[in-house]
Amino acid sequence: MEILYFLGFITIMFIIYSEYSIGSILFRPDSFGKISMNFYSLLGFLMNPFHKTHLWTLKTLDINYAFVILFSLFIYYLV
């Protein structure tokens, strides 16, 4: 159960960091121009590393959710 809290925390921190560094992933303007939460685009962004190889370069590892989760699990089990 403790690992689920850890992964949840890592996921939330990743979403905040990605929204800050890239922008308009979760919070996007809708058709009326009002900023709203778009979970579909967030899920698409989180799943992109599984089918887009350009996200596996050194420059893009910070926005690669799969890498962040794997690295976090490595650190979790190391400590």
- 29: which strand partners? 35
Q: Look up the domain containing 59 and give its range.
A: 2-78
How many domains, in total, are found in the chain?
1
SS3 (DSSP) at 23: coil
Model confidence over 2-32: pLDDT tens digits?
999 999 999 999 999 999 999 889 999 988 9
Total-model pTM: 0.88
Residue-level pLDDT at 31: 87
Tokens representing 19 are: 């929204």
Q: Using CA atoms, how far apart are residues 9 and 59, in angstroms rounded to an integer?
A: 24
Q: Using CA atoms, how far apart are residues 25 and 47, in angstroms rounded to an integer?
A: 13
10, 72 Cβ separation under 8 angstroms? yes
Tokens representing 43 are: 């899920």
